[in-house]
Structure 1
Amino acid sequence: MKRKYIKVAGLLMALCVVAVSLAGCGKEKVVTRTDFALDTVITIAAYGQSDEGILKEPFNRIRELDNKLNAFSEDSEISKINAAAGQEPVVVSEDTFNAVKEGLEYSEKTGGAFDITIGPLVDLWKIEAPGEGVVPEQPAIDAAKAFVDYRKVVLDEAAHSVFLEEPGMKINLGAIAKGYIGDAVKAVLQSEGVERAIINLGGNVVLIGGKSNREPFTVSLEDPEDPLSNGSISDASTLGVLRERDNSIVTSGDYERYFIGPDGKRYHHILDPKTGYPAESGLHQVTVITDTSADADALSTAFFVMGLDQAMTYIRETEGIEAVFVTTDNRIVATKGMEDTFVFDEGNHGGQYTLEFTEP
């Protein structure tokens, strides 16, 4: 699934989660599987388990949902909805209907900062790999932006159908699909009796339980000024760690996919639906921590587009959301609730960043 490649730098937890072999992680039984799906590397580790077969169904579920939700696959249900834009409603599976419905809810809640009809702009900019891209002409941006309006998506609950009112509209669930899939995988593991696990969908991290009954899992946050150079944890510089359990953690940043334009400006892949351009909000990176992965996924994008002040207002008015923001002027601003769970690596980054915990 070609989408934003949000990355938490790694799951420290003795750095064993991402390895195929868990030798050195203690005597506890752990089964792990690493595979390529969703256009990224996926790792699932289940604790207190000895049968690797328990991970078969979670990976089957990942591929099943990718086949339905991938806007870049001609055979997906999302592509069928897009192909019928302005013509007729398309009856879809419960999975696709619910994913679109959740996406619309966040489009509404964020006032369009997150908009699932962003597809025409995503297709126009085509920012897929670092260093590759061209700034579109303004008339082309204006034309694509005219098709971006989540209010023109019509859902029929009884028929399980989705209809785009205007030809040329396109749904792209890239900013919520991995979150939705993460929640689905968590449900599968829990139905199999797994009580402690880490699901790492290429950076969308879902935690079930903790490292032990007493100890939380430890997740590292990537330094946006020195991100992973080749996907190896050993190459990552981390700002600090999050000590969490039973939560989902998703990060969005302007350093994963971008290119430098002829004006010397960085053009990244997180597009502002209102301007049609990459968001300029004064943020470099946003990490959101919630109890569901779809929420964290959608909000990490929305907050990046909104900027710090609007994001903090949203958090203040909504229960169950914590966040860590890194601004373009090298401030780390974390919500007050993160004081006991976010540990800043001051020794390595104290001279570069300032940290503050604040009430939203």
Structure 2
Amino acid sequence: MRTIVQILIVVIAIIAWLLFPSKQYSPTIKGRALGTTYTIKIAHVISKAKLVEIRETVRKELEDINNKMSTYLSDSELSKFNQLHSIEPFPISQKTLQVIIEAQTVSQASNGAFDITVGPLVNLWGFGPQKIKNNPSAQKIKDMLQQVGYQKLTVDPQSKTLKKAHPDLYVDLSAIAKGFAVDAVCDCLRNAGMQNYMVEIGGEIRASAFKKDKTPWIIGIESPQPGKRSVQKAVTLKGMAIATSGNYRNFRYDAKTKKRLSHTISPQTGRPISHNLASVSVISSTCMHADAMATALMVLGEKRGFELAQSLKLACYFIVHEKPGNYKILQTDAFKKLQMK
């Protein structure tokens, strides 16, 4: 009798599963990739099987991007290029090619403020894998600048190759790869039939036009207040992406002057940026463009950065230090117009 009851329970469970497949409303997928965390919110009622499928597709996509663009994996596509101390053409994948073409475009638009070859200078100042106690000498900075410059990198879209003008040229895509990854995950979601979603990787975000209930996604721009996390400005994202660059979280103290040194290094001077811009957020149609442009504007500072953003009609939100605890807000015309819609 007990065996019959157990069989009946199993049969009923199978019938229930077939007639009423398990569903979740607005599932959230979380994980780690590209040296940071990611969160994906899907505003759909989907089966657990579909959720598992999407989670695996996203995992494979992010793993593929990391295997191509990481500078921490010695056998990644980008690391192999960096290890090649030669000026011969080097074949690359379509994905890496796409990211580097966009990076070079932003470099030209910002007159070199954004530069994917600045990595050696970042490492020189102790913001790379190895930490330092003393700042580099002026001569070391001058010598390192000789092998830095986006103009020293030639991209050939036809042959899908990269070529160095200096054999020690080093490319680092960390200021644009997360944005590209956000866009790539969005493509995965759309290919899976998802229309309502929000993707965040390491603070860079892209969202669909609406949630399932036709309300827009509301994203918070973080306040640069030290020691706490709070929202400075809430913005609506309707089929757009937002990326923020700031100097209030990642820094180190100068051993001699005790002053803070920003992790953002100017490709022109070879030194940490030194101005009053605390952070800048850029809204764009792609997260890759927003990611790179936010870095460029952060390098330029509040005055030159705001002027460039206005001239390029970028939707940007600047938070500027005035005095301890006080900030000035600058919004481009495009940002104001976008938030009024």
TM-score (norm 2): 0.84
Contact 1:69–1:77 under 8 Å retained in 2:
yes
Question: Displacement of 1:137 after TM fit?
Answer: 2.0
2:43 matches 1:47:
yes
- Secondary structure in structure 2 of the residue aligned to 1:301: helix
Question: Displacement of 1:133 after TM fit?
Answer: 5.7
Taking a change above 3 Å as real, the CA distance of residues 89 and 239 of structure 1, as seen in their structure-2 partners, is: same
Question: Displacement of 1:338 after TM fit?
Answer: 3.7
Residue 38 of structure 1: which of 24, 34, 40 is its match?
34
1:47-93 alpha-carbon deviations (Å, 9 max, x no partner): 11423122321221111101101122211111111112434221111
Question: Displacement of 1:134 after TM fit?
Answer: 4.1
- Secondary structure in structure 2 of the residue aligned to 1:42: strand
Query: How many angstroms apart in 2 are the aligned matches of 1:202 and 1:133?
Result: 28
Question: Displacement of 1:44 after TM fit?
Answer: 0.9
Query: How many angstroms apart in 1 are the aligned matches of 2:108 and 2:227?
Result: 32
Unmatched 5+ residue regions in structure 2? Answer: 1-22
Q: Which structure shows the bigger proportion of residues in helix conformation?
A: 2
Residue 279 of structure 2: which of 265, 268, 285 is its match?
285
- Secondary structure in structure 2 of the residue aligned to 1:116: coil
Contact 1:258–1:268 under 8 Å retained in 2:
yes
The aligned counterpart of 1:172 is 172
Pairing of 1:38-117 with structure 2 (within 5 A)? 38-50=34-46, 51-53=50-52, 54-117=54-117
Question: Displacement of 1:307 after TM fit?
Answer: 1.8
- Secondary structure in structure 2 of the residue aligned to 1:307: helix
Structure 1: which amino acid aligns with 2:116?
I
The aligned counterpart of 2:160 is 160
2:266 matches 1:272:
yes
- Secondary structure in structure 1 of the residue aligned to 2:295: helix
Max Rg structure:
2
Query: How many angstroms apart in 2 are the aligned matches of 1:195 and 1:219?
Result: 18
- Secondary structure in structure 2 of the residue aligned to 1:115: coil
The aligned counterpart of 1:118 is 118
Alignment RMSD (CA, Å): 2.2
- Secondary structure in structure 1 of the residue aligned to 2:111: coil
Query: How many angstroms apart in 2 are the aligned matches of 1:139 and 1:332?
Result: 38
The aligned counterpart of 1:328 is 321
Query: How many angstroms apart in 1 are the aligned matches of 2:219 and 2:227?
Result: 15
Contact 1:196–1:210 under 8 Å retained in 2:
yes
- Secondary structure in structure 2 of the residue aligned to 1:44: strand
- Secondary structure in structure 2 of the residue aligned to 1:186: helix
Structure 1: which amino acid aligns with 2:330?
V
Structure 2: which amino acid aligns with 1:39?
G
The aligned counterpart of 1:189 is 189
Taking a change above 3 Å as real, the CA distance of residues 159 and 338 of structure 1, as seen in their structure-2 partners, is: closer
Contact 2:78–2:171 under 8 Å retained in 1:
yes
**208-217 vs 90-99, which moves further:** 208-217
Q: Kindly tell me the number of residue pairs found equivalent between the two proteins.
A: 308
Question: Displacement of 1:184 after TM fit?
Answer: 1.2
Query: How many angstroms apart in 2 are the aligned matches of 1:71 and 1:49?
Result: 38
Question: Displacement of 1:337 after TM fit?
Answer: 4.1
Question: Displacement of 1:282 after TM fit?
Answer: 2.4
Contact 1:114–1:298 under 8 Å retained in 2:
yes
% identity of equivalent residues: 28
1:286-327 alpha-carbon deviations (Å, 9 max, x no partner): 1111111011001100001112232233233324x2111011
Unmatched 5+ residue regions in structure 1? Answer: 1-26, 229-235, 344-360
Contact 1:133–1:259 under 8 Å retained in 2:
no
1:27-50 alpha-carbon deviations (Å, 9 max, x no partner): 982122111111111111111142
Question: Displacement of 1:281 after TM fit?
Answer: 3.3
2:240 matches 1:247:
yes
Query: How many angstroms apart in 2 are the aligned matches of 1:227 and 1:165?
Result: 44
Contact 2:315–2:338 under 8 Å retained in 1:
no
Query: How many angstroms apart in 1 are the aligned matches of 2:60 and 2:290?
Result: 23
**60-69 vs 158-167, which moves further:** 158-167
Query: How many angstroms apart in 1 are the aligned matches of 2:138 and 2:172?
Result: 22
Structure 2: which amino acid aligns with 1:253?
G
Question: Displacement of 1:105 after TM fit?
Answer: 1.2
Query: How many angstroms apart in 1 are the aligned matches of 2:338 and 2:94?
Result: 36
